[in-house]
Chain A
Amino acid sequence: KAGVTQTPRYLIKTRGQQVTLSCSPISGHRSVSWYQQTPGQGLQFLFEYFSETQRNKGNFPGRFSGRQFSNSRSEMNVSTLELGDSALYLCASSIGTGENYEQYFGPGTRLTVT
């Protein structure tokens, strides 16, 4: 079974621009979560989607948004980029229900804002 894939793997943007990151979950998984990883703040939860609905959201400004499509693929968008948005963005997928809740992580997208 193919793992979680994220595209692109690396991205360089300029302050003020916007960016869209993509995540394809493991086949059969209906939940996708997004995380931001930085040396200073560590791993921070952005949001989680299940069957195209956002079920939970972390403490990030409205510039960070996401969506999930009917095939469970998810996109994350960051508008008006700031230097502090430079980070590794990880997505994780899971079945999303039941007791055996496990998240499987993708390799991440490394975003650099200049």
Chain B
Amino acid sequence: AQTVTQSQPEMSVQEAETVTLSCTYDTSENNYYLFWYKQPPSRQMILVIRQEAYKQQNATENRFSVNFQKAAKSFSLKISDSQLGDTAMYFCAFMKLFDMRFGAGTRLTVKP
């Protein structure tokens, strides 16, 4: 079974600075999807960024980018120019055949 590990339960960053959230996963599959989701306090989960395992190029969405290391089974999220609205729980997720597995989450606080 696939497992997803987020080793940083909590992190904080100053507004406008850069922060990197770590995620590792364990799988024997070759083709799969990886995601980062954001869950603001008392609000809905929203997709931040997606990466297909067969694509070598790292995905980027505005201030959010990933460092995908397939051989190392690592999928970190970098948030540049952090904003107060980035304060949330961040979940890393692995998906294969419509079965999505989440990590335990990292609680990120952006400080003014």
Interface residues of A (CB under 8 A from B): 3, 31, 33, 35, 42-45, 48, 50, 55-56, 58, 90, 92, 96, 99, 101-108
Contacts and interface: CB of A to CB of B under 8 A. Distances in A.
B98 A33 contact: yes
29 contacts: A3-B44, A31-B98, A33-B98, A35-B100, A35-B102, A43-B91, A43-B102, A44-B102, A45-B99, A45-B100, A45-B102, A48-B98, A55-B98, A56-B97, A56-B99, A96-B98, A99-B52, A101-B33, A101-B98, A102-B50, A103-B47, A103-B100, A105-B37, A105-B44, A105-B45, A105-B46, A106-B44, A107-B43, A107-B44
Interface of B: 33, 37, 43-47, 50, 52, 91, 95, 97-105
Contacts of B43: 107
**Residue of B33, B52, B98 with most chain A CB atoms under a 10 A cut-off:** B98
